[in-house]
């Protein structure tokens, strides 16, 4: 593992710095929005703007890269993102923040595509699984670490926004200075929705609903904390628990994924998420219960994303996996745009604790649909399933396709080693 990391450490360092800056800005939106007097509905629109930009960036960045190259696209998007972060405290209006979030979402999507292309190119077939795992850990640690940085300044000033901008700007140095070879860019056309649903109804519907869950957690969590009068340190800890749970639960869920019917695991993880949200709804102002709810509700969200990808790949040929990955990422993005809007409306109508009701209801919908699908199709034998590899919802199609290819290679290698029955 040390040998593998020695070849990509600069890229991973850059990713950590990017996630520190982006993670700070996600929570800052809720904190500063509360100070500025924005309503839940207004902040929901601002939150959705990021995912709308992210979705469009996933489609357009490969075209830009083919026209002008990785380095120019990476540098340009980084400059725009850094400028956007500084602009938030200058124009404290919901419409302006929404536009800025669209811009930052677009830039982050392009940055992921470019950085992941370099990272994937630097890995070999033997090291790709370890490199991708290290990349996912680096992303998660960056987001968690960002919450700690929020306690070092006042959200009512421009200091924290400037700090996030500096981190993003500095992050490009190790990436650009280490990426000597320009990787090839291949944009796979996403699989049509009808074909994707026909191949894996649970994967398609589930990942749409999960997009709603993830965006609501990451975008509206700080809004919820602000509205129930949490301190900045408590909100930072609350958001950190959402992602800390994912870091801890990813491994046991991944281990189970390769040893049982994934539909049962999807049901179990979704049920745990729903129960955790119920606990959050009943917690009132008890910080420890709220943190426990965040740990488990956030902890199952990221593993579910990887589970849906793996479950979908179980029903596809290796040749169809890249197109399916692109389609699933697009469906996830649509869900991520709609989720915060639903949560913001509910919080506006029924109070801040409707945050948990929306999340819990969505988890219940996933669990019930998984149960229904068990009655409609036989389970894939465990020996015939693709290997599980943790993939974060924040990644682009580059990492998702690379993870799918690695999973297929690992499954084939395992089957070759096993003696025939």
Buried b (16+ CB within 10 A) or exposed e, 246-282: bbebbeebbebbbeebbbebbbbbbbbbbbbbbbbbe
Residue 195 belongs to a domain with what CATH number? 1.20.1250.20
Region 146-155: what's the mean pLDDT?
91
Residue 375: both structure tokens together:
């009655």
Structure tokens at 347: 């919080």
Average pLDDT, the chain: 86
More confident position, 128 or 372: 372
Q: Model confidence over 353-379: pLDDT tens digits?
A: 999 999 999 999 999 999 999 988 877
| Per-residue model confidence (pLDDT) at position 254 | 84
Give the per-residue pLDDT at 389. Answer: 67
Cα(210)–Cα(207) distance, integer angstroms: 5
At 178-210, the pLDDT tens digits run 655 556 555 566 778 888 888 889 999 999 999
What is the reported pLDDT for 6?
67
Find the length of the chain: 421
* Residue 79 in domain: yes
User: What 3-state class would DSSP assign to 143?
Assistant: helix
Please report the pLDDT score of residue 67 as a whole number: 85
- Is residue 186 in some structural domain? no
**pLDDT number for residue 185:** 57
How many whole angstroms separate alpha carbon 353 and alpha carbon 371? 28
Distance CA 214, CA 132 (A): 21
Treating both helix axes as pointing N-terminal to C-terminal, what angle do 397-417 and 94-122 enclose, rounded to 10 degrees? 40
Of residues 96 and 392, more confidence is placed in 96
Structural domain of 317: 2-180+191-417
Decide if 346 is inside a domain. Answer: yes
For 86, residues 6+ apart whose C-beta sits below 8 A from its C-beta are 158, 161, 162, 165
Q: Give pLDDT, residue 50.
A: 95
pTM score: 0.91
Higher pLDDT, 312 or 83: 83
Q: What is the mean pLDDT of residues 341-348?
A: 95
CA angle 65, 313, 381 (to 5 degrees): 165
The stretch 265-270 carries a mean pLDDT of 96
As a whole number of angstroms, the distance between CA 323 and CA 189 comes to 6
**Collapsed DSSP state (helix, strand, coil) of residue 104:** helix
Specify the number of domains making up the chain.
1
Residue 34, CA distances (Å) to 37, 215, 240, 324 in order: 5, 18, 19, 39
The verdict on residue 269 lying in a domain is: yes
Query: In this structure, is residue 185 part of a structural domain?
Result: no
Q: Compute the average pLDDT of residues 276-290.
A: 92
Average pLDDT over residues 330-339: 93
The verdict on residue 396 lying in a domain is yes
Does the pLDDT value for residue 60 go beyond 90? no
**Using CA atoms, how far apart are residues 236 and 220, in angstroms rounded to an integer?**
13
Q: Percentage of residues in the chain with pLDDT exceeding 70?
A: 87
**Position 406 confidence tier, pLDDT thresholds 50, 70, 90:** low
When pLDDT is cut at 50, 70 and 90, the band that residue 384 belongs to is low
Residue 143 within a domain: yes
């Amino acid at each position: 593992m040390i040998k593998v990391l020695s070849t990509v450490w600069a890229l991973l360092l850059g990713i950590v710095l990017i996630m520190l800056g982006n993670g700070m800005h996600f929570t800052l939106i809720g904190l500063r929005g509360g100070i500025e007097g924005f309503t839940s509905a207004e902040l929901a629109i601002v939150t959705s703007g990021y995912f709308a930009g992210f979705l469009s960036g996933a489609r357009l960045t490969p075209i830009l890269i083919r026209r002008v190259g990785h380095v120019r696209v990476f540098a340009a998007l980084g400059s725009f993102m850094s400028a956007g972060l500084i602009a938030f405290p200058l124009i404290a209006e919901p419409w302006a923040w929404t536009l800025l979030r669209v811009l930052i979402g677009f830039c982050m999507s392009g940055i992921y595509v470019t950085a992941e292309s370099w990272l994937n190119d630097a890995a070999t077939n033997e090291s790709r699984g370890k490199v991708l795992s290290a990349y996912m850990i680096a992303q998660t640690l960056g987001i968690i670490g960002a919450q700690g940085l929020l306690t070092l300044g006042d959200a009512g000033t421009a200091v924290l926004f400037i700090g996030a901008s500096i981190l993003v700007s500095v992050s490009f140095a190790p990436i650009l200075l280490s990426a000597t070879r320009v990787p090839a860019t291949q944009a796979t056309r996403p699989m049509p929705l009808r074909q994707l649903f026909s191949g894996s109804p649970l994967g398609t519907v589930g990942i749409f609903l999960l997009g709603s869950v993830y965006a609501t957690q990451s975008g509206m969590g700080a809004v919820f904390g602000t509205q129930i009068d949490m301190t900045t340190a408590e909100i930072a800890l609350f958001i950190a628990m959402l992602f800390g749970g994912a870091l801890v639960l990813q491994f046991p869920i991944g281990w189970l994924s390769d040893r049982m019917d994934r539909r049962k695991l999807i049901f179990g993880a979704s049920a745990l998420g729903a129960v955790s949200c119920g606990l959050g709804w009943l917690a009132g102002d008890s910080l420890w219960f709220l943190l426990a709810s965040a740990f488990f509700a956030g902890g199952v969200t990221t593993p579910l994303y990887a589970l849906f990808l793996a479950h979908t790949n179980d029903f596809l040929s290796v040749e169809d996996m890249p197109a399916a990955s692109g389609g699933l990422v697009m469906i996830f993005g649509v869900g991520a745009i709609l989720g915060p809007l639903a949560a913001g409306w509910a919080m506006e109508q029924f109070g801040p604790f409707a945050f948990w009701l929306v999340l819990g209801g969505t988890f219940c919908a996933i669990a019930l649909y998984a149960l229904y699908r068990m009655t409609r199709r036989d389970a894939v034998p465990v020996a015939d399933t693709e290997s599980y590899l943790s993939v974060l919802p924040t990644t682009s199609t580059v990492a998702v396709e690379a993870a799918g290819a690695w999973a297929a290679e690992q499954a084939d290698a395992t089957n070759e080693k096993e003696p025939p029955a």
